[in-house]
Amino acid sequence: MRKAWWVGVLLGALLVGGCGDPGSDGEGGQGAPPAPAPGDPTDGASQTTRGRAEADRGAREKGDRGEGGDKGERPGGKKAAPVTRPATRPEVLYLGDSLAMENQSDLGTLLRDQVGARYTSAPYSGTTLCDYLEGTGKDSLVPDKDKAATLVRELRPDYVVLQFWGNAWGYTPCMEGITYDKARGRYFSRYAADARRLTGQITDAAREAGGKRPKVVWVSQGPDPMTPDRVRRVNALYRQQAAATGDLVSDAGRSVSPAAARHTWAEKLPCTAYERAHRAYCTEPERDRTALHRSDDPLHFCLAPTTAKSRPCPVRSPGIRRITQAVTDTLRAHATR
Protein backbone atom coordinates (compact mmCIF):
# COMPACT_ATOMS: atom_id res chain seq x y z
CA MET A 1 0.00 0.00 0.00
CA ARG A 2 2.81 2.41 0.83
CA LYS A 3 4.49 1.77 -2.52
CA ALA A 4 1.20 2.14 -4.38
CA TRP A 5 0.55 5.46 -2.66
CA TRP A 6 4.04 6.71 -3.48
CA VAL A 7 3.68 5.75 -7.14
CA GLY A 8 0.30 7.43 -7.28
CA VAL A 9 1.60 10.68 -5.85
CA LEU A 10 4.63 10.57 -8.15
CA LEU A 11 2.48 10.10 -11.23
CA GLY A 12 0.26 12.93 -10.07
CA ALA A 13 3.25 15.20 -9.56
CA LEU A 14 4.48 14.44 -13.05
CA LEU A 15 1.13 15.56 -14.44
CA VAL A 16 0.88 18.83 -12.57
CA GLY A 17 3.25 21.66 -12.10
CA GLY A 18 4.22 25.24 -11.55
CA CYS A 19 1.86 28.15 -11.52
CA GLY A 20 0.76 29.80 -14.69
CA ASP A 21 -1.85 32.26 -15.82
CA PRO A 22 -5.22 30.73 -14.94
CA GLY A 23 -6.87 32.54 -17.81
CA SER A 24 -4.30 31.84 -20.49
CA ASP A 25 -6.51 29.32 -22.31
CA GLY A 26 -9.71 31.34 -21.94
CA GLU A 27 -11.26 28.86 -19.50
CA GLY A 28 -9.56 29.60 -16.23
CA GLY A 29 -6.81 27.14 -16.99
CA GLN A 30 -9.07 24.09 -17.33
CA GLY A 31 -8.25 21.84 -20.21
CA ALA A 32 -4.74 23.26 -20.57
CA PRO A 33 -1.77 20.94 -20.78
CA PRO A 34 -0.09 20.37 -17.42
CA ALA A 35 2.67 22.72 -16.35
CA PRO A 36 6.08 21.47 -15.21
CA ALA A 37 6.77 19.84 -11.88
CA PRO A 38 10.02 20.88 -10.16
CA GLY A 39 11.89 18.45 -12.33
CA ASP A 40 10.07 19.08 -15.61
CA PRO A 41 11.90 21.19 -18.21
CA THR A 42 8.83 21.83 -20.38
CA ASP A 43 9.28 25.17 -22.09
CA GLY A 44 11.69 26.16 -19.34
CA ALA A 45 13.95 28.33 -21.47
CA SER A 46 11.09 30.71 -22.30
CA GLN A 47 9.89 31.23 -18.75
CA THR A 48 12.54 33.40 -17.15
CA THR A 49 11.47 36.90 -16.18
CA ARG A 50 14.53 39.06 -16.14
CA GLY A 51 14.09 42.79 -16.21
CA ARG A 52 14.21 44.89 -13.10
CA ALA A 53 12.14 47.77 -14.46
CA GLU A 54 9.22 45.56 -15.43
CA ALA A 55 9.38 43.71 -12.13
CA ASP A 56 9.37 46.97 -10.17
CA ARG A 57 6.36 48.20 -12.10
CA GLY A 58 4.48 44.96 -11.50
CA ALA A 59 5.30 45.04 -7.81
CA ARG A 60 3.95 48.57 -7.47
CA GLU A 61 0.73 47.57 -9.22
CA LYS A 62 0.43 44.51 -7.02
CA GLY A 63 0.91 46.62 -3.93
CA ASP A 64 -1.76 49.05 -5.13
CA ARG A 65 -4.20 46.13 -5.35
CA GLY A 66 -3.42 45.13 -1.78
CA GLU A 67 -1.55 41.97 -2.72
CA GLY A 68 1.82 42.82 -1.29
CA GLY A 69 2.69 43.67 2.30
CA ASP A 70 0.36 44.71 5.06
CA LYS A 71 0.54 48.43 4.20
CA GLY A 72 1.63 49.22 7.72
CA GLU A 73 -1.68 48.37 9.39
CA ARG A 74 -2.82 45.77 11.86
CA PRO A 75 -6.42 44.67 12.59
CA GLY A 76 -8.56 47.53 13.83
CA GLY A 77 -6.64 50.11 11.82
CA LYS A 78 -3.65 50.28 14.16
CA LYS A 79 -0.31 51.00 12.59
CA ALA A 80 2.21 48.19 12.51
CA ALA A 81 5.70 48.66 13.88
CA PRO A 82 7.94 50.22 11.22
CA VAL A 83 10.13 47.84 9.25
CA THR A 84 13.84 48.32 9.81
CA ARG A 85 15.63 48.61 6.46
CA PRO A 86 19.32 48.49 5.62
CA ALA A 87 21.11 51.83 5.30
CA THR A 88 21.87 51.03 1.64
CA ARG A 89 19.82 49.24 -0.99
CA PRO A 90 21.16 45.70 -1.43
CA GLU A 91 21.23 44.11 -4.88
CA VAL A 92 19.53 40.70 -4.80
CA LEU A 93 19.68 38.01 -7.50
CA TYR A 94 17.17 35.15 -7.29
CA LEU A 95 17.79 31.88 -9.17
CA GLY A 96 16.04 28.54 -9.06
CA ASP A 97 13.54 26.05 -10.44
CA SER A 98 9.74 26.11 -10.74
CA LEU A 99 9.38 26.89 -7.04
CA ALA A 100 11.40 30.05 -7.64
CA MET A 101 9.38 30.64 -10.80
CA GLU A 102 6.13 30.79 -8.83
CA ASN A 103 7.69 32.74 -5.94
CA GLN A 104 9.58 35.41 -7.84
CA SER A 105 7.01 38.22 -7.98
CA ASP A 106 6.05 37.90 -4.32
CA LEU A 107 9.67 37.77 -3.22
CA GLY A 108 10.51 40.83 -5.29
CA THR A 109 7.64 42.78 -3.74
CA LEU A 110 8.65 41.88 -0.18
CA LEU A 111 12.34 42.57 -0.75
CA ARG A 112 11.60 45.97 -2.25
CA ASP A 113 9.05 46.90 0.44
CA GLN A 114 10.84 45.54 3.52
CA VAL A 115 14.52 45.62 2.58
CA GLY A 116 14.56 48.36 -0.06
CA ALA A 117 16.31 45.91 -2.37
CA ARG A 118 17.11 46.16 -6.04
CA TYR A 119 15.98 42.82 -7.38
CA THR A 120 16.53 40.59 -10.40
CA SER A 121 15.14 37.09 -10.87
CA ALA A 122 16.01 34.49 -13.50
CA PRO A 123 14.39 31.16 -12.58
CA TYR A 124 13.87 28.28 -15.00
CA SER A 125 11.46 25.43 -14.37
CA GLY A 126 12.90 21.95 -14.30
CA THR A 127 16.39 23.03 -13.35
CA THR A 128 18.85 22.02 -10.70
CA LEU A 129 22.18 23.46 -9.58
CA CYS A 130 24.14 22.16 -12.56
CA ASP A 131 21.96 24.11 -14.99
CA TYR A 132 23.34 27.39 -13.63
CA LEU A 133 26.96 26.28 -13.95
CA GLU A 134 29.07 27.72 -16.72
CA GLY A 135 30.45 25.12 -19.11
CA THR A 136 27.36 22.91 -19.26
CA GLY A 137 26.52 23.96 -22.82
CA LYS A 138 23.62 22.27 -24.58
CA ASP A 139 23.04 19.97 -21.60
CA SER A 140 21.71 22.90 -19.57
CA LEU A 141 18.17 24.27 -19.46
CA VAL A 142 19.58 27.72 -18.63
CA PRO A 143 21.03 29.81 -21.49
CA ASP A 144 24.51 31.28 -21.13
CA LYS A 145 23.16 34.80 -20.57
CA ASP A 146 21.45 33.66 -17.34
CA LYS A 147 24.17 31.50 -15.82
CA ALA A 148 24.85 32.41 -12.21
CA ALA A 149 28.41 33.61 -12.89
CA THR A 150 27.32 35.67 -15.90
CA LEU A 151 24.65 37.47 -13.89
CA VAL A 152 27.06 38.04 -10.99
CA ARG A 153 29.53 39.73 -13.35
CA GLU A 154 26.75 41.84 -14.83
CA LEU A 155 24.82 42.82 -11.70
CA ARG A 156 27.44 42.58 -8.93
CA PRO A 157 24.77 41.53 -6.41
CA ASP A 158 25.14 41.64 -2.66
CA TYR A 159 23.10 38.43 -2.32
CA VAL A 160 22.47 35.45 -4.58
CA VAL A 161 19.40 33.54 -3.40
CA LEU A 162 19.24 29.92 -4.57
CA GLN A 163 15.92 28.03 -4.41
CA PHE A 164 16.16 24.41 -5.59
CA TRP A 165 13.89 21.54 -4.63
CA GLY A 166 16.48 19.00 -5.74
CA ASN A 167 15.32 17.66 -9.13
CA ALA A 168 15.18 14.04 -7.98
CA TRP A 169 13.62 12.70 -11.18
CA GLY A 170 16.36 13.42 -13.70
CA TYR A 171 14.54 15.77 -16.06
CA THR A 172 17.45 18.08 -16.73
CA PRO A 173 20.17 16.71 -19.04
CA CYS A 174 23.01 18.13 -16.97
CA MET A 175 22.28 15.58 -14.21
CA GLU A 176 23.28 12.85 -16.69
CA GLY A 177 20.48 10.56 -15.62
CA ILE A 178 21.47 10.50 -11.94
CA THR A 179 18.26 10.20 -9.95
CA TYR A 180 17.42 9.71 -6.30
CA ASP A 181 15.43 6.53 -6.80
CA LYS A 182 18.07 4.71 -8.89
CA ALA A 183 21.36 5.95 -7.44
CA ARG A 184 20.95 7.71 -4.11
CA GLY A 185 24.63 7.83 -3.24
CA ARG A 186 25.56 9.29 -6.62
CA TYR A 187 22.62 11.70 -6.44
CA PHE A 188 23.74 13.24 -3.14
CA SER A 189 27.43 13.22 -4.10
CA ARG A 190 26.66 14.97 -7.36
CA TYR A 191 24.37 17.48 -5.68
CA ALA A 192 27.02 18.36 -3.09
CA ALA A 193 29.69 18.69 -5.80
CA ASP A 194 27.46 20.99 -7.85
CA ALA A 195 26.79 23.14 -4.79
CA ARG A 196 30.54 23.57 -4.32
CA ARG A 197 31.11 24.31 -8.02
CA LEU A 198 28.29 26.83 -8.21
CA THR A 199 29.51 28.64 -5.10
CA GLY A 200 33.02 28.68 -6.55
CA GLN A 201 31.86 30.10 -9.87
CA ILE A 202 29.90 32.84 -8.10
CA THR A 203 32.99 33.71 -6.04
CA ASP A 204 35.27 33.77 -9.07
CA ALA A 205 32.83 35.85 -11.11
CA ALA A 206 32.61 38.51 -8.39
CA ARG A 207 36.40 38.73 -8.24
CA GLU A 208 36.66 38.98 -12.03
CA ALA A 209 34.12 41.82 -12.01
CA GLY A 210 36.16 43.68 -9.41
CA GLY A 211 33.41 43.57 -6.82
CA LYS A 212 32.96 42.02 -3.42
CA ARG A 213 31.82 38.44 -3.13
CA PRO A 214 28.03 38.21 -2.69
CA LYS A 215 26.51 36.23 0.15
CA VAL A 216 24.91 33.07 -1.16
CA VAL A 217 21.56 32.36 0.50
CA TRP A 218 20.48 28.73 0.32
CA VAL A 219 16.72 28.35 0.70
CA SER A 220 15.79 25.18 2.57
CA GLN A 221 12.91 23.18 1.16
CA GLY A 222 9.60 22.20 2.67
CA PRO A 223 8.58 18.59 3.29
CA ASP A 224 8.67 16.14 0.40
CA PRO A 225 5.45 14.06 0.39
CA MET A 226 7.06 11.16 -1.48
CA THR A 227 10.61 10.82 -0.15
CA PRO A 228 10.84 12.72 3.17
CA ASP A 229 14.45 11.75 3.85
CA ARG A 230 15.61 13.09 0.49
CA VAL A 231 14.67 16.69 1.20
CA ARG A 232 16.03 16.36 4.73
CA ARG A 233 19.44 15.43 3.28
CA VAL A 234 19.28 18.11 0.57
CA ASN A 235 18.66 20.71 3.26
CA ALA A 236 21.61 19.31 5.22
CA LEU A 237 23.80 19.75 2.12
CA TYR A 238 22.75 23.39 1.96
CA ARG A 239 23.70 23.92 5.58
CA GLN A 240 27.06 22.21 5.10
CA GLN A 241 27.87 24.25 2.02
CA ALA A 242 26.87 27.52 3.68
CA ALA A 243 28.99 26.72 6.73
CA ALA A 244 32.00 25.90 4.57
CA THR A 245 31.93 29.24 2.73
CA GLY A 246 30.48 31.60 5.33
CA ASP A 247 27.15 31.90 3.56
CA LEU A 248 23.54 31.90 4.76
CA VAL A 249 20.64 29.45 4.99
CA SER A 250 17.06 30.64 5.06
CA ASP A 251 14.95 27.88 6.59
CA ALA A 252 11.91 28.87 4.58
CA GLY A 253 10.80 25.26 4.45
CA ARG A 254 10.00 25.38 8.15
CA SER A 255 7.29 27.96 7.45
CA VAL A 256 5.34 25.40 5.40
CA SER A 257 5.87 22.53 7.85
CA PRO A 258 3.82 21.53 10.91
CA ALA A 259 5.16 23.24 14.01
CA ALA A 260 6.23 20.01 15.68
CA ALA A 261 7.17 18.04 12.54
CA ARG A 262 9.65 19.89 10.32
CA HIS A 263 9.77 17.22 7.59
CA THR A 264 6.16 16.02 7.66
CA TRP A 265 4.16 17.08 4.61
CA ALA A 266 0.77 18.75 5.06
CA GLU A 267 -1.66 20.12 2.51
CA LYS A 268 -3.13 22.53 5.07
CA LEU A 269 -1.86 24.10 8.27
CA PRO A 270 -3.30 26.39 10.96
CA CYS A 271 -3.47 30.02 9.89
CA THR A 272 -0.76 32.35 11.12
CA ALA A 273 -1.45 35.70 12.77
CA TYR A 274 -0.66 37.42 9.47
CA GLU A 275 -3.10 35.17 7.60
CA ARG A 276 -5.86 35.79 10.14
CA ALA A 277 -5.33 39.53 9.76
CA HIS A 278 -5.30 39.26 5.95
CA ARG A 279 -8.22 36.95 5.32
CA ALA A 280 -7.39 36.20 1.68
CA TYR A 281 -4.46 34.20 3.02
CA CYS A 282 -6.55 32.14 5.48
CA THR A 283 -8.46 29.94 3.06
CA GLU A 284 -10.65 28.21 5.67
CA PRO A 285 -11.17 30.84 8.38
CA GLU A 286 -14.02 28.92 10.00
CA ARG A 287 -11.55 26.10 10.72
CA ASP A 288 -8.57 28.41 11.23
CA ARG A 289 -6.69 26.52 8.51
CA THR A 290 -5.14 27.55 5.24
CA ALA A 291 -4.24 25.63 2.10
CA LEU A 292 -0.55 25.46 1.19
CA HIS A 293 -1.01 23.21 -1.85
CA ARG A 294 -3.72 22.48 -4.36
CA SER A 295 -5.23 19.04 -3.84
CA ASP A 296 -3.90 17.96 -7.25
CA ASP A 297 -0.32 19.23 -6.73
CA PRO A 298 1.58 18.17 -3.60
CA LEU A 299 4.80 19.93 -4.56
CA HIS A 300 4.07 23.51 -5.59
CA PHE A 301 2.51 26.24 -3.49
CA CYS A 302 0.59 28.27 -6.07
CA LEU A 303 -3.17 27.90 -5.65
CA ALA A 304 -4.01 28.84 -9.23
CA PRO A 305 -4.90 26.18 -11.82
CA THR A 306 -1.85 25.00 -13.69
CA THR A 307 -1.10 25.81 -17.30
CA ALA A 308 1.44 24.56 -19.81
CA LYS A 309 3.71 27.59 -19.47
CA SER A 310 5.05 28.26 -15.99
CA ARG A 311 4.84 31.85 -14.80
CA PRO A 312 4.90 33.73 -11.51
CA CYS A 313 1.93 32.70 -9.41
CA PRO A 314 -1.01 34.99 -10.34
CA VAL A 315 -3.05 34.56 -7.14
CA ARG A 316 -2.44 35.11 -3.46
CA SER A 317 -1.14 31.84 -2.07
CA PRO A 318 -0.35 31.31 1.63
CA GLY A 319 2.54 28.92 1.06
CA ILE A 320 4.30 31.32 -1.28
CA ARG A 321 3.73 34.20 1.13
CA ARG A 322 5.20 32.17 4.00
CA ILE A 323 8.27 31.11 2.04
CA THR A 324 9.03 34.53 0.57
CA GLN A 325 8.55 36.25 3.92
CA ALA A 326 11.02 33.83 5.51
CA VAL A 327 13.61 34.58 2.82
CA THR A 328 13.00 38.30 3.21
CA ASP A 329 13.44 38.05 6.97
CA THR A 330 16.79 36.29 6.49
CA LEU A 331 18.12 38.96 4.15
CA ARG A 332 16.81 41.82 6.26
CA ALA A 333 18.37 40.39 9.43
CA HIS A 334 21.74 40.07 7.74
CA ALA A 335 21.63 43.37 5.87
CA THR A 336 20.71 45.40 8.97
CA ARG A 337 23.36 43.92 11.29
Ordered DSSP codes for 211-238: SPPPEEEEEPP---SS-HHHHHHHHHHH
Give residue 22's identity as a one-letter amino acid code.
P
Backbone angles phi, psi at 288, to 5 degrees: 55, 45
**Residues 30-66: b if buried by 16+ CB within 10 A, e if exposed:** eebebbbbbbbbbbbeebbbeeeeebeebbeebeeee
DSSP assignment, residue 299?
A: S
Using an 8 Å Cβ cutoff, are 55 and 121 in contact?
yes
Distance CA 221, CA 327 (A): 12
Given CA atoms 71, 115, 157, 99 in this order, what sign does their dihedral have?
A: negative
pLDDT reading at 315 higher than 50: yes
Tell me which residue of 7, 10, 2, 3 sits closest to 298, measured CA to CA: 10
Instruction: Provide the 10 A C-beta neighbour count for residue 14.
Output: 15
Q: What confidence tens digit (pLDDT) does each residue in 243-288 have?
A: 999 999 999 999 999 999 999 999 999 999 999 999 999 999 999 9
pLDDT of residue 50: 58
d(CA 159, CA 128): 19
How far apart are the C-alpha atoms of 152 and 210, rounded to whole Å? 11
Are 187 and 178 a contacting pair, CB within 8 Å? yes
pLDDT of residue 82: 62
Query: pTM score, two decimals?
Result: 0.81
State the pLDDT at residue 59: 42
Q: Is the pLDDT of residue 10 over 70?
A: no
Centre a 10 Å sphere on the Cβ of residue 67 and count the other Cβ atoms it contains.
Answer: 17
Residue-level pLDDT at 298 = 94
* Backbone region of residue 66 per phi and psi (left: phi > 0; alpha: psi in -120 to 50; beta: other values): left
> pLDDT category, 77, cuts 50, 70, 90?
very low
Distances (CA, A) of 333 to 139, 240, 250, 314, 329: 37, 21, 11, 28, 6
